[in-house]
Amino acid sequence: MFREVRTTDEKELFSVEDVAKKLGITARTLHYYEEVGLIVPSSRTAGGHRLYAQDVVEKLAYILRIKDSLGYSLQEIRNVLAAQETLDRLRESYQSGSETERQQIIDESIELMTTILQHIDEKLEKLSEMKTGLLERLDRVKKLRP
Amino acid sequence: MFREVRTTDEKELFSVEDVAKKLGITARTLHYYEEVGLIVPSSRTAGGHRLYAQDVVEKLAYILRIKDSLGYSLQEIRNVLAAQETLDRLRESYQSGSETERQQIIDESIELMTTILQHIDEKLEKLSEMKTGLLERLDRVKKLRP
DNA sequence: CAATACGTTGACGTAAGGATTAGATATTGC
DNA sequence: GCAATATCTAATCCTTACGTCAACGTATTG
């Protein structure tokens, strides 16, 4: 029923269908994202079937949120992910290069996040406007009823 | 500077570029939407250049809002527009068919608008979640600074 | 009225998957 | 334990929504 693995340390692995259903996408999307280098299955079965661990599923969910909510292209998403990974590396081994380099990474991260926040706010505003407009129209239509 | 027309009744007409700039799209999008039957230029110059009146520009703006904010496909947008036009026709010549037919049109409109409202709410929620998450992360990153 | 800017119709290119196929792999039911 | 059934694989072609030339015609401006 669940594909657990012999690695003894409890990692649950999910099949393509498991992941697709969980995230509301199709297997094709997983294959495609792998093709363009966005995600990689954590492992494969002896027969070659893809297996995904929890962290990859979460990364995917993150990608899908950015794509669906903000409408970013996969290329833009790649850039966002790359920036975040750079930041993560900085955070973990906190002597990765010179101080100016360090500063630059942080500054770029802040800039990127600020830009994304702006996009979110724009979307939120447009959606709110659409909502009020629609609610008004819905009201008017409902008055046509007996 | 502005392409006004001889029809004497004040209708301003806009060129492809005018419209594209106003709405933040490219000429290609206008051409494409025409190709697939979503919009039609209000008229053409003697030489064949497209001219758009205000109402078409507004329709286009509406289409773009649905597309960009909600992520609807052009096909879905066509359905929405068709439903609205059906309703508009009903509203104007208010004896277009039987009473049951009338009811059906109204009910379908209400249903459609309710569905769209749901999509809007879903988007709003996802965006809000993303926003809070990002704000937290931004805060943490800012603490890495001197 | 020539130079420059803008528009027209093709036609092909690209991104992000969808649909289909043929064959290998997994799961289940007995 | 193995056949029937369900999934997965890679490969290929299809679709949507434009981007990007190219080759040429139209409008505007100095």
Tens digit of pLDDT for each residue in B10-21?
578 999 999 999
- Which residue's C-alpha is at the least distance from the C1' of C9? B31
**Average pLDDT of span B24-38:** 97
What is the predicted pLDDT for the residue at A96?
A: 61
pLDDT greater at residue A119 or residue B4: A119
CA–CA distance, A89 with A95 (Å, rounded to integer): 10
Q: Is the pLDDT of residue A9 over 60?
A: no
Considering only CB atoms, A116 lies closest to which of B120, B123, B134, namely B134
Contact (CB, 8 A) for B32 and B63:
no
Please give the interface size between A and B, counted as residue pairs whose CB atoms are below 8 Å apart: 85
**Chain B residue nearest residue A113, CA to CA:** B138
Task: Give the closest nucleotide to A25 (alpha carbon vs C1').
Answer: C17
**Average pLDDT of span B87-114:** 86
What is the predicted pLDDT for the residue at B96?
A: 62
Backbone angles phi, psi at B46, to 5 degrees: -55, -35
pLDDT in tens, A35-64: 999 999 999 999 999 999 999 999 999 999
Q: Is the pLDDT of residue B8 over 70?
A: no
Q: What is the 3-state secondary structure (H, E, C) of B43-77?
A: EECCCCCEEEEHHHHHHHHHHHHHHHHHCCCHHHH
Q: Where are the domains of chain B?
A: 1-71, 72-146
What is the predicted pLDDT for the residue at A95?
A: 62
CA–CA distance, B3 with B1 (Å, rounded to integer): 7
- The first and second tokens of residue A145, run together, are 């009823």
| Best residue in A92, A135, A141 for a mutation probing chain B (most B CBs within 10 Å) | A141
What is the predicted pLDDT for the residue at B91?
A: 84
* Lowest-confidence segment of A9-13, A30-34, A126-130 by average pLDDT: A9-13
**Chain B residue nearest residue A66, CA to CA:** B130
| Best residue in A105, A113, A135 for a mutation probing chain B (most B CBs within 10 Å) | A113
**The CATH number of domain A1-71 is 1.10.1660.10:** yes
What is the predicted pLDDT for the residue at A38?
A: 97
Burial class (CB in 10 A: 0-12, 13-18, 19+), A47: exposed
What is the predicted pLDDT for the residue at B1?
A: 39
B70/A contact by beta carbon, under 8 A: yes
Chain A residues whose CB is inside 8 A of the B65 CB are 126, 130
What is the predicted pLDDT for the residue at B5?
A: 39
**Average pLDDT of span B106-134:** 97
Q: Is the pLDDT of residue B75 over 90?
A: yes
Q: Is the pLDDT of residue B95 over 60?
A: yes
Residue A126, C-beta contacts closer than 8 angstroms, at least 6 positions apart? B65, B68, B69
